[in-house]
Amino acid sequence: MKLGVLFSGGKDSVYALSKALEAGEVKVLITIVSENTESYMFHTPNISITKMQAEAIGIPLMQKTTKGVKEEELVDLQDAIAEAKKEYGISGVYTGAIASSYQADRIKNICDELELELFNPIWGKDQEEFMRELVDAGFKVLVSGIFAYPLDESFLGKIVDHELIDRLVKIRDTYKINVAGEGGEIETTVLDAPFFKKRIEVKESEVNAKRNEGVCIIKKAVLSGK
């Protein structure tokens, strides 16, 4: 089966891509760049890095923009998926949805209308288990955004490891956050994964944070051999 993957460059979509590669032929990565940093549908921190990630992986990237207006942004997503179907002949779409019915339901409606199969390989997965699986599998995941109390600047720019997951679990037990950030608590950027042909090396980054919200923006990065 020829597949497209909705690709933000964060841990969820990169993991979904790994499963798509096992299941069929991934023809294209589909990225939506939202002008609205508070988009209900789309990841925004370091979204520009998806071009470098696609090069590191070796799969074509289709990148489209949206104003990020709630519900209206779905039209832009549908147009992008329709174009991917026409240009690359895909018959299925993979996403990194874990628990967000808001996103999953809307993407399913789009795929149904376009007569495409939809696959959500990590839907319903235990979030702590998922995070630890990423670490154990060799994914190098940078924390690029925090958006919930009591997360703070100390998380930004860190690479996810078991110690960091332990911290998130303790916070979850008290404050009921989602360990994998499915409620928007954290955003991530993947710098390397087992199937990357090259790894992304961050040369310069900038942290902008205030209280319990902030981002780590990659200012300069290069591709390096593995």
What is the model's pLDDT at position 38? 67
Q: Tokens in use for 67?
A: 């104003």
Q: Tokens in use for 57?
A: 């992986």
Residue 82 one-letter amino acid? A
How many Å apart are CA 61 and CA 172, to the nearest integer? 35
What is the model's pLDDT at position 72? 82
Residue 196: count of CB within 10 angstroms of its CB: 21
Indicate the pairing of strand 140-147 with strand 213-224: antiparallel
What is the model's pLDDT at position 40? 59
What is the model's pLDDT at position 56? 98
What is the model's pLDDT at position 43? 63
The alpha carbon of 88 is separated from its chain's Cα centroid by a whole number of angstroms, namely 22
Q: Tokens in use for 76?
A: 């832009």
Residue 42 has pLDDT above 80, yes or no: no
CATH number of the 129-224 domain: 3.90.1490.10
How many Å apart are CA 54 and CA 71, to the nearest integer? 27
Q: Please, how many CA atoms are within 13 Å of residue 11, restricted to the half-sphere of its CB?
A: 28
**Cβ–Cβ < 8 Å for 10, 187:** yes
What is the model's pLDDT at position 182? 86
Strand order in the sheet with 140-147: 186-192, 140-147, 213-224, 199-210
| Residues in contact with 187: Cβ distance below 8 Å, sequence separation at least 6, in sequence order | 10, 43, 44, 45, 143, 144, 145, 146, 147, 181, 215
**Cβ–Cβ < 8 Å for 223, 56:** yes
Question: What is the tens place of the pLDDT at every residue in 48-71?
Answer: 999 999 999 999 999 999 987 777
Q: Is 159 exposed, middle or buried (0-12, 13-18, 19+ CB in 10 A)?
A: middle
Say how many Å lie between the first and final Cα of the chain, rounded: 29
Strand order in the sheet with 61-66: 61-66, 25-34, 2-6, 92-94, 117-119
Confidence of residue 41 (pLDDT cuts 50, 70, 90): low
Question: What is the tens place of the pLDDT at every residue in 165-199?
Answer: 999 999 999 999 999 998 889 999 999 999 999 99
What is the model's pLDDT at position 141? 98
Residue 157 has pLDDT above 80, yes or no: yes
Please give the CATH architecture assigned to the domain spanning 2-119.
3-Layer(aba) Sandwich (3.40)
Mean pLDDT of the chain: 94
For residue 25, give the DSSP letter. E
Indicate the pairing of strand 213-224 with strand 25-34: unpaired
Helical ranges in the chain per DSSP H: 11-23, 50-57, 73-88, 101-113, 127-137, 162-175
What is the model's pLDDT at position 39? 66
What is the model's pLDDT at position 60? 98
Domain ranges of the chain: 2-119, 129-224
